[in-house]
Amino acid sequence: MAKAKIRTGSQKAARRRQRKKRSGITAKRKREFTYRGYTVEELCEMPFDDMVLLLPARVRRTLTRGMNEGQKIAYEVLKNEDREITRTHRRDVPIIPQFVGKKVSVYNGKEFIEFEIKPEMIGHFTGEFAMTRSDVKHSGPGVGATRGSKFLPLK
C-alpha cells in the first residue's frame, strides 16, 4: 500500500496552491538595470557629451564646467586602473558608467570605507557612500547624575 503525502495546512492554502499551479505563476525574473532607458553597456558606448546630458544637474555641472586637479587625478585612476581596490580621499568624484564593477575605498575622516560601484550608483558622488557621521549610542547615566535619572528607561 503506497503512502500518499499528507500536506499540513488549511483547505484554503491547498486551493491557493492549486490556483497558482493552474495559472502558471512562476518566480519573478530579475529585470536588467536601465538608467533613463539605457542599459549600462549602452551608456558606456555612448559619446561622453551625450552621456553627461542624462546625468542629474549637480553631476552634469561638475563634468561640463571642468573638474579640479584632484578630481581629474581620481577620475583617471578610477577609469583606467585595473587595481583590485582603489583608495582615495576624494569624495567629490562623480560616478559614471565606466566605473561600474570597480571597488573603491573612500576616506570618511576616520577610516576608509570600501564599496563596489553598482549601476544604481550612477549619477552620485563617491562620498555619498562613505558616511562621515555615526549614530550616538549612550550608555547608562554618568557619574554625578541625579538619583532620579538612574531609573529612566534606555531606548
Range 40-129 has CATH code 3.40.630.30: no
- Percent helix, percent strand, percent coil in the chain, to nearest 5: 40, 10, 50
What pLDDT digit, counting tens, does each position of 117-146 carry? 999 999 999 999 999 998 888 777 666 667
Confidence (pLDDT) at 154: 59
Q: Scan for cell 558622488, then name that residue.
A: 125
Q: Mind listing the pLDDT tens digit for each residue in 33-84?
A: 899 999 999 999 999 999 999 999 999 999 999 989 999 999 899 888 788 9
The structure's pTM equals: 0.70
Write out pLDDT tens, residues 85-96: 999 999 999 999
